[in-house]
Amino acid sequence: MLKKYTETFPVLTRDCDLNGAWRPGAILQSMQEAGGAHSALLGVGRNELILRNLAWVLTRIEVEMDRYPRIGDKVTMETFPTPLRRWFFPRYFVVRDEGGAEIGRAASLWVLLDLTSRRMVQPGEVAALMPDNSDLPAPLGLPAPVTEVGGTLLAEDWYPRYTDMDANVHVNNTRYIDWACDALGIDAMRESELARFTITYTQEIRPGQKVHTELHRLGNDFSYSGFVDGDRHFDLGGRLRPRG
């Protein structure tokens, strides 16, 4: 059984920001694709799950980046799951540069979603197909809940758009960090980069739902939350650092 999955690829122009650095949202997209490729090789990929009327859904992720690759740099993405935590499937990621040095890492928690009821379901047969990776060291602890910071507040109301949606007909997990970077603004993201960030996905956001977002910033720390009809749907928090 394939315990780990690794792929190497160049950082493309389309995946970089106005500084020429790998965008946080594009990093999450690469992690999503690597995790999906590994799941397919294990027999629990998207096509296999659809036959069971199921889909993988991310519930929480924490990402740390020591350094951001730039346009044309080659990176290697390594990913592996670890033993089940009740109904949650932990999956880890390590990002390495062309020389093999570790420059980033992530810890994530996934669940199985019933596509009809839109509810979480028990791991069942899927858990039995996962490798026993209890011997592999995790690059991070399990992601902790997001803490809301004080400081200045920016609030917005809007509706998700076509490009926010994915094949599960909800806002894709990678889009939330894009929203947060947009809320932080061009000046902040030109001068700073994300040293780390955590996202908790409490409820999915579907087409036509009005989203109320609140950005709090205090120095280099920030939190960003989203609500639908007063119910909390996601929380995102992180820390900025000056660009090198």
The span from the CA of 68 to the CA of 196, in Å, is 12
pLDDT tens, position by position, for the chain (244 residues)? 699 999 999 999 999 999 999 999 999 999 999 999 999 999 999 999 999 999 999 999 999 999 999 999 999 999 999 999 999 999 999 999 999 999 999 999 999 999 999 999 999 889 999 999 999 999 999 999 999 999 899 999 999 999 999 998 999 999 999 999 999 999 999 999 999 999 999 999 999 999 999 999 999 999 999 999 999 999 999 999 999 7
In the numeric block, the tokens 């592996």 are attached to 80
In CATH, the architecture of 5-128 is Roll (3.10)
pLDDT at 150: 92
> Domain 152-242's class?
alpha beta
pLDDT at 172: 96
For the chain, give every domain's residue range.
Answer: 5-128, 152-242
pLDDT at 206: 97
pLDDT at 244: 74
pLDDT at 207: 97
Fold identical between 5-128 and 152-242?
A: yes
